[in-house]
Chains A and B, each alone.
Chain A
Amino acid sequence: MKKTLLILTAIMVVMAVFASCSQPKSNSDTIKIGVNYELSGGVATYGQSSVEGIELAVEEINKAGGVNGKLIEIVKYDNKSEEAEATTLATRLMTQDKVVAVLGPATSGAFKATIPVATQHKVPVASGSATADDVTVDSNGVKEYAFRICFNDSYQGTGMANYALNNLGLKKAVIIMDSSSDYGKGLAENFKKTFEANGGTVVAQEAYVEGDTDFNAILTSIKGKDFDVIFIPGYYEEAGLIIKQARDQGIDVPILGADGFDSPDLKSLAGAEALNNVYFSNHYSSLDQDPVVQDFIKLFKSKYNKQPDAFNALGYDLAKFVIDGISRAEKLTGEAVKDALAATKNFNGVTGSFSVDENHNPVKALVVIQLKDGEQYSSERLSMD
C-alpha cells in the first residue's frame, strides 16, 4: 500500500516536471489558428468534412500571401468525438499552442463544452455547424467568446414549417427525428411548434437513433395514418435510408429536411428514383450562379475530386470568417479577434452573405432546395420575418 503510493507520487512529480518543460516555442512569422475537430469516433465524418473545407480556405489564403503579411498556420487536433477531449484540446490550443482563435468542434455538445475554456482564456471559439439554440446565448446573455456561422435549429425548423404550410400548402405532418442528436431534437421541436401554431397538425412523431438502418417498422406504423408530408430532422446517413424505404413502401408524399441532407451520399443511399418530391433547407445551392459559390465548388472539386457537402462549405466559410476577423483585429490577441468577429458586417461567404448579430448568430437567408431524380432542381430563398 505504502509502496504503491510512493511510486505513484514519484511518477506524478516526474511527469509533471517533464511535461511542463516541453512547452512548444512560438513562431512570430505565422498566425496560429487552432482546429479542434472530430476526426475519429462517432461523428468523424462531420469533423473530417469540416476540416477539408478549412484546409482548402487556409491554403487559398496563404497562396494569396496570408493576412497582413503573415501566413496562417493550422494547429490541428482530433477530439475523438468526445466532449472531455474537446475541452482538454481547447485548453491545450489556448495555453500551449497560443492560438488566437479555435475552430470547431462540429457538434453543438462538444462545442458547448469548449466555451467555458474560451471565456476563461479569452480566446474566441467558432463553429460552422453547432446549431443548438443555446450555443451562443443562454439565460445569462450572450457568450462573449463563442461564434457560429450556421443557422440555429429554431431558424431552420421554423423556416421549413412555414415553407410546408405556405409554399407547399401541406397541413398534416409526420415527424421522424434523429433522437440521438440534439440537432434532430431541436429541429423537430421548432418545426412542430411553428407548424401547429400556424394551422397545421402533427399527426405522428417517431424517432430513431444514429446508425439505425431498418425503418420499415416506423414507416409501416405511420402508413395507416392520414398525412401529407414527412419532416425528417436528421443527417443524410439515416435520412437517405428512410426516404428509400418510404418510397419502397409506396409512401410518396413530399419529404422535407434540413441542411443535414446536404451531401452527395444522400443520392447514393436513397437512390435517384426515390429522391423526387424532396425539399430541404440549406445555406446555399450549387445551382447558385454567384461566383463565390461556383469558384468554391470548382476549387473544392479540383483539390478533393468530389462534390462538396454542407460541412465542407461551412468549414470553408468558417476559416474565412475567422481569418477575416483576424485581419481586421487591432492586435493579435484573442480579445481583439473576438471584438473584430463580433463586428463582422456583410461577410460574403459561400453559405450566404451575413452579418453577426448581438447574439453572435449569423443573419442570413435560408435556401430551400428541391430535388428531382436526386439532383438539385430548383432553389428559392426564404426571407424570414
Chain B
Amino acid sequence: MNKWTALAQKMSKWIILALTFIIIQLLIQVNIINDYLQATLATICINIILAVSLNLITGFTGQFSLGHAGFMSIGAYTCAIILLRMPTTWGFLAGIFGGALLAAVVGFLVGLPTLRLRGDYLAIATLGMSEIIRILFLNMEITNGAAGLSGIPRFTNWFYLFVFMIGTIIVITNFLKSSHGRACISIREDEIAAEAMGINTTRYKVTAFTIGAFCAGIAGALYAAYFYFVKPSTFGFLKSIDVLVIVVLGGMGSISGSILSAILLALISTILQDFSELRMILYALMLIIIMLFRPQGLMGSKEVSLKIFKNLLSYMPSRKEGQ
C-alpha cells in the first residue's frame, strides 16, 4: 500500500472542495456564470447556511424555532452598519463576525428562558422574539427605520460564500458527531429520558440554539454585503417560514437533505418566476403534502450515500497500482 495513495484518500475531500471552488471561480471569471447566476448562487449559499443551522435547532435538537429571520436580521444589520462606516475587507470580516456574535448573544439570552418551553410554545415565543427584533429595527435611528440601509458596498463574493458555507457545514456536522451533538439528538428523541440519563437538557438546547443563531447571523451578514440593501420587512415571519420549508422538505435531521432542498427550491423558484401568485400556494401545498405523506422529508434523517462515487475514487488509484 502506497503511502501517497493513503494520503490522497485522506485528503480527497479537501481536494474535491478545492476543485469545486476553482471550477466555479473559473466559470465566473470567463463569465459563463454571469452576474445573474452568481446572484442565484449567492441566494443558494445563504439559504444553505440558514437551513443547515435551523436544522441543528429544529431537526436535530427537536426545538421548533420560528425566529431564524430575527437572528439573520441581526447579522445583516450589524454587517451593514459596520460596512457603511468602514468599507474595507477588514470591515466586512468584522461585520460578519460581529453580526454573528451579536446574533449568538441574543440567541443565548432569548434561548435561556424560552427553551424551557415545550414544542409549540417555543415556536410562538421565538416568533414573538423575531417580531420584536424587527420592530426594534423599524424604530431605531441607526438602522434608518423603515427605509432601511442602502448603498452597502458589495464584498460578498464566491470565495466568502464558499468558505462560510463549507465552514458552517463542517462545524455543524462535527458538532453533531461529538458527544454534545448526540446529547442534542437524544433530547429530540425523548427529552424526559435524556434528562433521566443525566443530560443537562437546557444546556444542550441553549448550545444548539446559540450555534444556530451564530450561523444565521453569518448568513445575514453575507446577505447584506451582497444585495446592497437591508430593510426590516425583509426579515418578517415569512422569511423564517422560507427557511423552515427548506429544512422540512430536505428532511429534519439531514444535513445533506437541507443542502439538496435549498438548491432544489432555488431552481423551482426560478422556474416559477412567471407564476408568482402560485408560488406561495405551491409552497403551502408542498408543506402540507410532505407532512401528510412523507413527514420525514426527502431524505428523512439519512445523509446522502455516495458509495458508488467513493468506490470509484478508491478504485482508480488502486488500478494504477496494479499496473
* A contact set with B: CB distance below 8 Å: 1-13, 15-17, 19-20, 39-40, 42, 77-78, 80-84, 87-88, 91-92, 94-96, 108-109, 112-113, 116-117, 120-121, 132, 134, 138, 179-182, 184-186, 209
Contact = CB atoms under 8 A, between A and B. Distances in A.
Contact of B17 (A9, A78, A108): A9
Contacts of A7: 256, 259-260, 304, 306
Contacts of B274: 77-78
Interface stretch (B35-43, B55-63, B178-186, B288-296): B35-43
Contacts of A109: 147-148, 150, 229, 231
A4 B174 CA distance: 13
B109 interface: no
The 9 closest A-B pairs by CB, nearest first: A182-B147, A78-B276, A113-B229, A88-B39, A9-B20, A92-B36, A84-B227, A40-B276, A4-B256
Contacts, number: 161
Interface in B261-281: 263, 267, 273-274, 276-277, 279-280
Contacts of A20: 27, 32-34, 37
Contacts of B170: 1
B291 to A, nearest CB: 24
Contact of A84 (B13, B43, B276, B310): B43
Q: Report the interface size class on chain B.
A: 35 or more
Given A4-B173, A83-B148, 5 more contacts: A77-B273, A95-B36, A109-B231, A138-B151, A182-B148
B35 A95 contact: yes
Interface string B139-163: 1000001111011001000000000
B34 A95 contact: yes
B87 to A, nearest CB: 12
Interface of B is mostly: helix
Contacts of A120: 35
A42 B279 contact: no
Interface of A is mostly: helix
B300 to A, nearest CB: 15
Given A84-B223, A113-B228, A121-B35, A5 B146 contact: no
A115 to B, nearest CB: 8
A209 B305 CA distance: 50
Given A109-B150, A132-B147, A185-B147, A87 B39 contact: yes
Contact of A116 (B24, B36, B154): B154
A169 B228 CA distance: 44
B145 A185 contact: yes
Interface in B223-237: 223, 226-231, 233-234
Contacts of A13: 20, 23-24
Given A113-B150, A116-B228, A88 B223 contact: no
B138 interface: yes
B12 A2 contact: yes
Contacts of A3: 256, 303-306, 309-310
Contacts of A108: 147
A4 B309 CA distance: 12
B227 A96 contact: no
Interface string B90-114: 0000000000000000000000000
A1 B27 CA distance: 26
